Amino acid sequence: MGARSIPARHHFPEQSCTWDQVVYAIEGSLTVSTKARSFVVLPDQAVWLPAGLTHQIGSMLGAEFRSMWIEHEAGIDLPASPTVLAASPLLKALIAEATGMEGHADSDGYAARVRRLILDQLRRTRSLSNPLPWPRSGPLLALCEALYADPSDPRSFVEWSRAFGISSQTLARRFEAEVGLSLRSWRHRLRLFRAIEMLSGGLSVTQTAMELGYGSASAFVYAFRAAQGSSPHVYMRQREPGSL
């Protein structure tokens, strides 16, 4: 188990571990890149990275995160491919407990029991199919980085294509081919991701709505409820350890 910080616009060197790995951000968001795809995950999500997978971890705006390494035999029944998992309040609490015990002697076997509980939680938690996809390089990366930094940016696809010196049709084709979504759908998902990140960082609903470019707090609440099935206040309460 390791507690680490990563500064804004930074990536750790590409690596491949002989043990399985779980990565979970307690603050901020992480970018995870493999040979197959790149995506962004939030503090209510964990990433399962099986042994032998070449991957890279980074962050657009900086993050505090935890990494847990598991002997492959112990996690043999967990997914064989990188998987985004919903981090329940119990899983978060167990990871925090395990981190606090790192480096201490396990004289009564308590730390081992906590690790077994974490494995049980990983087996029980649901996988998520909709992390925020992320491009790898070129104009698409510049576009997504700019919108992530300022999700209220009102520029249209045509304006972005002019800025990059390519046609809007070409930019649209490239975007959908690499990211798997239209720019409109991606921006909608981006706003939801950034909303959760901002609310987790202590911003109020009104402040978050303004940062995201909504005309009013009520418009933001409506969009959030449509996407998540609950208001921002209820959603954030459910993410707290006391909501078990």
| Same domain as 145, residue 33 | no
Taking the C-alpha atoms of residue 149 and residue 40, their distance in angstroms, rounded to an integer, is 13
| Same domain as 108, residue 52 | yes
| Same domain as 142, residue 111 | no
The length of the chain in residues reads: 244
60: left (phi over 0), alpha (psi -120 to 50) or beta: alpha
| Same domain as 121, residue 14 | yes
Can you spell out the DSSP letters for 101-125? TTTS--TTSHHHHHHHHHHHHHHHS
Side chain identity at residue 83, one-letter code:
T
| Same domain as 165, residue 114 | no
| Same domain as 97, residue 149 | no
Does position 152 have pLDDT exceeding 90, yes or no? yes
| Same domain as 205, residue 164 | yes
Kindly report, residue by residue over 95-121, the tens digit of the pLDDT. 888 888 877 788 888 988 998 899 899
Domain boundary pick from 80, 96, 128: 128
| Same domain as 15, residue 121 | yes
| Same domain as 8, residue 109 | yes
* CATH number of the domain encompassing residue 141: 1.10.10.60
pLDDT classification of 242: cutoffs 50, 70, 90 = low
Domain boundary pick from 78, 105, 128: 128
Kindly report, residue by residue over 215-238, the tens digit of the pLDDT. 999 999 999 999 888 999 998 887
Give me the domain span that covers residue 148: 136-243
Domain boundary pick from 96, 128, 160: 128
- Per-residue confidence (pLDDT) for residue 219, from 0 to 100: 95
* CATH number of the domain encompassing residue 68: 2.60.120.280
| Same domain as 158, residue 60 | no
Kindly report, residue by residue over 12-47, the tens digit of the pLDDT. 999 888 889 899 888 888 999 998 889 998 877 899
3-state secondary structure string across 10-71: EECCCEECCCEEEEEEEEECEEEEECCCEEEECCCEEEEECCCCEEEEEECCCEEEEEEEEC
pTM of the complete model beyond 0.85: no
- Per-residue confidence (pLDDT) for residue 203, from 0 to 100: 92
Dihedral of CA atoms 46, 49, 55, 58 in degrees, nearest 10, equals: 10
| Same domain as 120, residue 28 | yes
Average pLDDT over residues 174-191: 91
- Per-residue confidence (pLDDT) for residue 240, from 0 to 100: 65
- Per-residue confidence (pLDDT) for residue 244, from 0 to 100: 46
Domain count, the chain: 2
